[in-house]
Amino acid sequence: MSKSGDIRGFFKKKTSQASSATGAAAFSYTNSVFEVGPHPPDEQTRRISPPAPPSQVLLDLPSSPITPQKKNKPKHKFDMKTLLSHARKDNETEKSARRAEEAKAQAEKDLEPEPDANKMAGEFFSDDEVKGEKLAMALDRTTGDESRPRAYFFGLDEAPRSPPRRQFPRKAVKANPWSILQDASSRRQTIIHGLPTILARRGKELPDELYLWILDEICVEKDLQLRNQYINLATTCLDDMRRLVDEKQLYNMLEKLGGQKHSTIDDKFELSPGLQAPYPSRDWSQLRYFLELLQVMAPNLAHENKMGAIKMLIRLSLDPVISTVAGLQVAYSKAMLALVSALPAPEDQWTNCCENICNYLYTRVDAASQRNMAITLLPASTPRMVELQRRLASEALLGEPNLGARHPDKSVTAQDLFSRLSEPDFQITSSTDFGELNALISLLDITIHDGSHLYRARLFPSVSRTSASSSSTLAPMPTPSSLASPSTTPSPASEAEARAQYDMDVDGLLRRLKVMHDKISDNTLVVKKEAKAAMDGLMKRLNHTVRSRPQPKEDIFEGILVSSKKDNADLPRQKDFMKKWTAAKAARAAE
């Protein structure tokens, strides 16, 4: 037998001995625990202490050459949670690096000096100093009138990146049902789901501290869903809105955005030198949120609070940011339209409101350019807004206090306009302020309107004299019934005469504007070009829209009006021709 066969025989013998020993031990253990055969019936079963467990018996047995292996869980090379945490850290690192780069670029941009026209011109024409000076003067003429003093509403200092926020009033929401807002972690989702708004609509009174906190959050919250829920909740609580939203509260909301403080002193607005970029790199979205809130709250504000909000918007319109930043002018127009539309409808109350608004602008600002800026920003989309704009323009143009208390159809006549155009600020001289002149032309355009009130003043001179003599009360407009009475109904002759006089008044305005227009040399400053363009537009409107009929053309050979010549000579001859033609046609038909 070979050596390998001996080894296999040895292992077989050892394996059989181990199996027989294991079987004998198991059989002896079974017999010791359970006794084989029946017990005597009178003998009680005795308790037998259990022997050693089989595991201890098996410990003495020879170990198997094959050891059992536990199935371990597969170990992955990468853990998903670890990968997510690493990715999150990488994103935060990239954002931090990006913010650092943006801050560095902004700092470098702020440190860059503003371009100097004289220096640029000198570098461009380094060989010829005369050409460089001419180029610098040409660049100065194209900069416009930005150095004019402005009534800035917001501070010119750099605004904070994030406005200060009011601390949430935890003590005010301890009681039910507002205790749902106690938990800061779930407060956001609770408000987004509209639960506080539902409670307010069911009659639950909102704490004053919580309402004021919501007003502050509307202007600084960037989340659209959360901001809309704030607005819904603020406009649902009508009683809180009428009590808490006043002029002072509105100023406090804008003060957190860098605006001026509320003041009860009736003083002139402070003017500052004009700047080309007074608010560099400032985010105005929060001001737009404020104007949108004011638009929604306008119908439910108290009357005195509506008037305070209108005055605040007029003060805000003097800041050029409203007319230069995209989106702010639209939001401003909507808020002003909502506030003016919510004013009382009765004529006497409406007149008092207009007088209050007109006196506010007239007493706080002296320059025509500042007044014109606030007046032209008013939306002219409704008859009431047009009337308010005309009241403000007539008082600012003629310079008469309390003129806004009278209807513009009764407060201005053609003679008033002629007298105003004869004053020194409408004369073109070497010292004329063309920025102010441009504003005066705009105010004149708004005051003239469609010219119907000037025609009625010629058609009903007695009514116009009565209205002109009343300075503090509003004279009633002529009603259709009064116009139909024999004493006030004009005859065809008087209508034609009134129309002719009205056209003469319009022609007089055109001649005065034409003289002013031709005296301006528009080859220098941009403000001169703007003034000439404004006069040219007003003259075209007067000639083609305001005048009752187009101006008659003049015969350059005979120096007479073509229309009057035809009326006097051609009309009888044409009538005779038509009579002969109709008679001949009737004779042919009879044959």
pLDDT in tens, 149-200: 888 999 887 766 677 788 888 888 888 888 888 888 888 899 998 899 999 8
The predicted pLDDT at position 133 comes to 64
With vertex at residue 382, the alpha carbon angle to CA 328 and CA 358, rounded to the nearest 5 degrees, is 75
Instruction: Please choose, from the candidates 323, 402, 399, the residue with its C-alpha nearest in 3D space to the C-alpha of residue 358.
Output: 402
The predicted pLDDT at position 576 comes to 83
Work out the pLDDT band at 120, boundaries 50, 70, 90: low
The predicted pLDDT at position 98 comes to 81
Q: What is the mean pLDDT of the chain?
A: 78
Work out the pLDDT band at 314, boundaries 50, 70, 90: very high
Cβ atoms of 410 and 475 closer than 8 Å = yes
Tally the C-alpha atoms within 13 A of residue 436's C-alpha that lie toward its C-beta: 14
The predicted pLDDT at position 396 comes to 94
The predicted pLDDT at position 579 comes to 87
The predicted pLDDT at position 48 comes to 52
Domain boundaries, the chain: 116-147, 393-473+495-551, 556-591
The predicted pLDDT at position 534 comes to 93
The predicted pLDDT at position 542 comes to 93
Lowest mean pLDDT among 470-479, 507-516, 533-542: 470-479
DSSP 534-579: HHHHHHHHIIIIISSSPPPPB-TTT-SBHHHHIIIIIHHHHHHHHH
pLDDT in tens, 467-511: 444 433 333 434 333 433 444 556 555 888 888 899 999 999 999
pLDDT average, residue stretch 366-384: 93
The predicted pLDDT at position 203 comes to 86
The predicted pLDDT at position 438 comes to 93
The predicted pLDDT at position 141 comes to 54
Q: Is the pLDDT of residue 28 over 50?
A: no
The predicted pLDDT at position 140 comes to 56
Question: Can you give 307-332 as a three-state secondary structure string?
Answer: HHHHHHHHHHHCCCHHHHCCCHHHHH
Q: Is the pLDDT of residue 214 over 70?
A: yes
* 3-state DSSP assignment of residue 259: strand
The listed range with the strongest mean pLDDT (17-21, 189-193, 334-338, 564-568) is: 334-338
Work out the pLDDT band at 87, boundaries 50, 70, 90: confident
Residue 307 or 88, more confident: 307
Q: Which tokens hold the place of 488?
A: 């006030």
Displacement of CA 547 from its chain's centroid (Å): 38
The predicted pLDDT at position 539 comes to 94
Work out the pLDDT band at 93, boundaries 50, 70, 90: confident
Share of the chain above pLDDT 70, in %: 70
Q: Is the pLDDT of residue 356 over 70?
A: yes
Rounded Cα gap, residues 302 and 310, in angstroms: 12
pLDDT average, residue stretch 214-240: 89
Mention every residue, 6+ apart, whose C-beta is less than 8 A from residue 353: 307, 343, 344
Q: Is the pLDDT of residue 43 over 50?
A: no
Lowest mean pLDDT among 77-86, 251-260, 582-591: 77-86
Instruction: Please choose, from the candidates 255, 237, 346, the residue with its C-alpha nearest in 3D space to the C-alpha of residue 296.
Output: 237
The predicted pLDDT at position 155 comes to 86
Q: Is the pLDDT of residue 294 over 90?
A: yes
Q: What is the largest CA-CA distance in the chain?
A: 167
Residue 128 or 369, more confident: 369
Question: What angle separates helix 383-398 from helix 434-448, to the nearest 10 degrees?
Answer: 130
pLDDT in tens, 420-441: 999 999 999 988 898 899 999 9
Work out the pLDDT band at 242, boundaries 50, 70, 90: very high
139: enclosing H helix or E strand: helix 129-141
pLDDT in tens, 398-419: 999 889 899 988 889 999 999 9
pLDDT average, residue stretch 562-572: 57
Work out the pLDDT band at 104, boundaries 50, 70, 90: confident
The predicted pLDDT at position 493 comes to 59
Amino acid at 482: S
pLDDT average, residue stretch 335-353: 94
The predicted pLDDT at position 266 comes to 78
Cβ atoms of 339 and 307 closer than 8 Å = no
